[in-house]
Chains A and B, each alone.
Chain A
Amino acid sequence: MEKIYSRPVSLNPVAFNYCPGCLHGTSQKLLCDVIDELGKQEDTIAVMPIGCSTMGMFAFDFESLGACHGRAPAVATGVKRTAPEKLVFTYQGDGDIGYIGFSEIMHAANRGENFTVIFANNGTFGMTGGQMAPTTLIGQRATTAPLGRDPSYGQGMPIHMSELVASLPLPVYVERCSVDTPAHANATRKAIKKAFDIQLAGKGFSFVEILTNCPTNWGVSPVQSIAWIKEKTYTEYPLGVYKDITQEG
């Protein structure tokens, strides 16, 4: 028999520091898969954020560095501008990108920096224990929104990062994906590959949002969290390509 599905080479032979069923693992495994496929393990620099997302730092077997909370797109700007030949990406969560790092993501996108942002959206602050995130759904409970997120209570509306980034003139490619099913995971893999291809061709800024889960802080089992994404998350955050100027002219 021949091995037809292998664990990526650029993924360290260690267990992820994630809770059981956390789709950060799936997303980061897909990233490593694409890096292997592109043969870029030796030429990749990952800029990691603050939050659960950063745990990839122990998993990735390529160069990486850790930004302050929200600043990964600024750090990646410094990395890519001084090493344009490298494959550079950030991997950020929703608190990182939608709250504290909103300025950094919008301005890196607005400058059209030639790197890729991977945004894992699970609607909660995982690492700090389930506080309200900018992407928390209306009515979704959080430790800082114990009655459920309520815009009339001053807690704001879920923020739509892909749509906001796509509204800027310079980003080349913006897609919202999911990893809740194998088919969606394969589509996410394609989106990451496309984003990296765009970067390697020097075309500019690419942004891939991945809808993920947080069984621990959603208070559901991993299997139930998959149903949650289907029932609740898609409605608020529709999957799809929000910008792709590689298709134009």
Chain B
Amino acid sequence: MEKVFMKGNEAIAEAGIRAGCRFFAGYPITPQNDIPEYMSRRMPEAGGVFVQGESEVASISMLMGSAFNGVKSMTSSSGPGLSLKSEGISTMAGMQLPAVIVNVMRGGPGTGAIQGAQMDYLMATKASGHGGFRMIVYAPSTVQEAVDYTIRAFDKAEQYQQPMLIAADGHIGAIMESVELPEMRPVANMKKNYEFFPHPGFGKTRQQVYSVDLNLKAQEDFNRYLADLYDIWNRDEVLVEEYLVEDAEYVIVTYGTSSRIARAAIKALREEGVKIGMVRPISLYPFPYDSIRKLDPNKVKKILCLELSIPVQVVEDVELAVQGKIPIESYGRAASLVFTPEEVIGYFNSIK
């Protein structure tokens, strides 16, 4: 373990290298530019390959090639770039090729606002591309978590042979914090361990990897295989922090940078004697429905969803979990504007 003071974006890049990532392709877009910049000098040192792609579309496609060869691979972008990468991400899910994709989220829609925001929740968790696939999505709230969950994302990508997503927000990407970096892992090629769904028509003995199947029955079987995989994720891969929810009469649901602001607000409100806590999804997908479902409607008066997004998007999953049993309020800021703890407290006092 090595303790350093590091910017979130660079920490994500270094975590990738230490997890064994040896191929990175990316394209400039704010607020994630430190990641490709860091990779461009660090990757050659580590004996890996950095390519500045001609577009986000090309960059994710380059990952298909490197992942085909069993090389741990990573790309990063922000909202508009993720829209472009969605073609390749969906294809990699169909091809069963592992990779880690980083979305350092900014404002939207469209070009939106170029500083940090959390406006891609629904895209990240429900549809990072066509065809109904899912990814495990980690939302770090500190630079340390950005490191830890980037490494975990590489492990999960390899374990499940699927693309995984880091949904960091621009604030996590930009802040500097003290962080413990793990030891550099030995580089291990994944190719010999690949196991692909047996699509008829393609090589039984040779690695032939496509996201198309002209045999419709086989394609449907593959869709079932993926659905089963998502069931496994929902059972085994949920990560959540429950903060002061034991006695809570009010529960905030939030993640990433918003959860830091919420924590400060909760501490202040607790000092005033307000029984308030927080459910913080760390994995946005699979969503920690159980942590919300188990809240007692006779005890919890209200749930407050906080997000740096207007409209607040995470509320849709909270509604699914609550099933109308607890009133839900939501408060967001957008366009890269950030609520303060005082603002959160003010809003809370207006709805409690």
Residue of B nearest to A47 (CB): B65
Contact B95–A79 (Cβ < 8 Å): no
Residues of A within 8 A of B23 (CB): 78, 81-82
Asked if B167 CB lies within 8 Å of chain A CBs, one says no
Q: A62-B206, A63-B207, A65-B95 are in contact. Are A75 and B49 (CB under 8 A)?
A: no
Contact B66–A78 (Cβ < 8 Å): yes
Contact B58–A66 (Cβ < 8 Å): no
Q: A61-B203, A82-B71, A107-B54 are in contact. Are A75 and B64 (CB under 8 A)?
A: yes
Contact A75–B201 (Cβ < 8 Å): no
Q: Kindly state the separation between the CA atoms of A77 and B24 in the bound complex, as whole angstroms.
A: 12
- Which residues 15-67 of B sit at the A interface, judged by CB distance below 8 A? 22-23, 25, 49, 51, 53-55, 57-59, 61-67
Asked if A191 CB lies within 8 Å of chain B CBs, one says no
CB distance from B53 to the nearest CB of A (A): 7
CB distance from B228 to the nearest CB of A (A): 24
Residues of A within 8 A of B181 (CB): none
CB distance from A114 to the nearest CB of B (A): 13
Q: A63-B206, A66-B210, A68-B91 are in contact. Are A79 and B65 (CB under 8 A)?
A: yes
Contact B62–A45 (Cβ < 8 Å): no
Asked if B107 CB lies within 8 Å of chain A CBs, one says no
Residues of B within 8 A of A77 (CB): 25, 51, 58, 62, 65
Interface centre among A47, A67, A103 (most CB of B within 10 A): A67
Contact A68–B51 (Cβ < 8 Å): no
Residue of A nearest to B71 (CB): A82
- Which residues 55-85 of A sit at the B interface, judged by CB distance below 8 A? 57-58, 60-68, 71, 74-83
Residues of A within 8 A of B210 (CB): 48, 57, 65-66
Contact B206–A78 (Cβ < 8 Å): no
CB distance from A106 to the nearest CB of B (A): 8
Residue of B nearest to A77 (CB): B62
Residues of A within 8 A of B95 (CB): 65-66
Residues of B within 8 A of A60 (CB): 208
Asked if B68 CB lies within 8 Å of chain A CBs, one says yes
Residues of B within 8 A of A104 (CB): 54, 57-58, 61
Q: Dominant SS at the B interface? A: mixed
Residue of A nearest to B59 (CB): A74
Q: A65-B208, A82-B49, A103-B55 are in contact. Are A74 and B69 (CB under 8 A)?
A: no
Q: Kindly state the separation between the CA atoms of A66 and B206 in the bound complex, as whole angstroms.
A: 14
CB distance from B43 to the nearest CB of A (A): 11
Asked if B269 CB lies within 8 Å of chain A CBs, one says no
Residue of B nearest to A79 (CB): B65
Contact A81–B66 (Cβ < 8 Å): yes
Contact A107–B58 (Cβ < 8 Å): yes
Instruction: Count residues of B near A (Cβ-Cβ below 8 Å).
Output: 36
Residues of A within 8 A of B55 (CB): 103
CB distance from B202 to the nearest CB of A (A): 7
Residue of A nearest to B91 (CB): A68
- Which residues 180-220 of B sit at the A interface, judged by CB distance below 8 A? 201-203, 206-212
Q: Kindly state the separation between the CA atoms of A77 and B203 in the bound complex, as whole angstroms.
A: 23
Q: Kindly state the separation between the CA atoms of A65 and B206 in the bound complex, as whole angstroms.
A: 11
CB distance from B307 to the nearest CB of A (A): 32
Q: A57-B202, A58-B201, A63-B208 are in contact. Are A68 and B87 (CB under 8 A)?
A: yes
CB distance from B88 to the nearest CB of A (A): 6
Q: Kindly state the separation between the CA atoms of A48 and B208 in the bound complex, as whole angstroms.
A: 10
Contact B65–A76 (Cβ < 8 Å): yes
Mask for A212-244, Cβ within 8 A of B = 1, else 0? 000000000000000000000000000000000
CB distance from B188 to the nearest CB of A (A): 14
CB distance from B82 to the nearest CB of A (A): 15
Contact B66–A71 (Cβ < 8 Å): no
Q: A57-B202, A61-B203, A66-B210 are in contact. Are A78 and B62 (CB under 8 A)?
A: yes
Contact A78–B25 (Cβ < 8 Å): yes
Residue of B nearest to A14 (CB): B201
Residues of B within 8 A of A81 (CB): 23, 49, 51, 62, 65-66
Mask for A35-64, Cβ within 8 A of B = 1, else 0? 000000000010110000010011011111
Contact B212–A66 (Cβ < 8 Å): yes
Residues of A within 8 A of B66 (CB): 78-79, 81-82
CB contact between B61 and one of A48, A54, A62, A71 (< 8 Å): that residue: A71
Q: A66-B211, A104-B54 are in contact. Are A71 and B49 (CB under 8 A)?
A: no
Q: A58-B201, A68-B87 are in contact. Are A74 and B53 (CB under 8 A)?
A: yes
Residue of A nearest to B22 (CB): A82
- Which residues 77-136 of A sit at the B interface, judged by CB distance below 8 A? 77-83, 103-104, 107
Contact B88–A68 (Cβ < 8 Å): yes
Q: Kindly state the separation between the CA atoms of A77 and B50 in the bound complex, as whole angstroms.
A: 11
Residue of A nearest to B210 (CB): A66
Residues of B within 8 A of A103 (CB): 54-55, 57-58
Mask for A189-221, Cβ within 8 A of B = 1, else 0? 000000000000000000000000000000000
Q: Kindly state the separation between the CA atoms of A244 and B55 in the bound complex, as whole angstroms.
A: 29
Residue of A nearest to B207 (CB): A63
Contact B61–A79 (Cβ < 8 Å): no
**Would you list 17 pairs from A and B whose C-beta atoms are within 8 A, ordered by A residue?**
A48-B210, A54-B212, A63-B207, A64-B203, A64-B206, A64-B208, A65-B65, A66-B91, A66-B211, A74-B53, A74-B58, A75-B61, A75-B65, A77-B65, A78-B61, A78-B69, A103-B55
Nearest 3 interchain pairs by C-beta = A78-B65, A79-B65, A78-B62
Which residue numbers of A lie inside 8 Å of B, CB to CB? 45, 47-48, 54, 57-58, 60-68, 71, 74-83, 103-104, 107
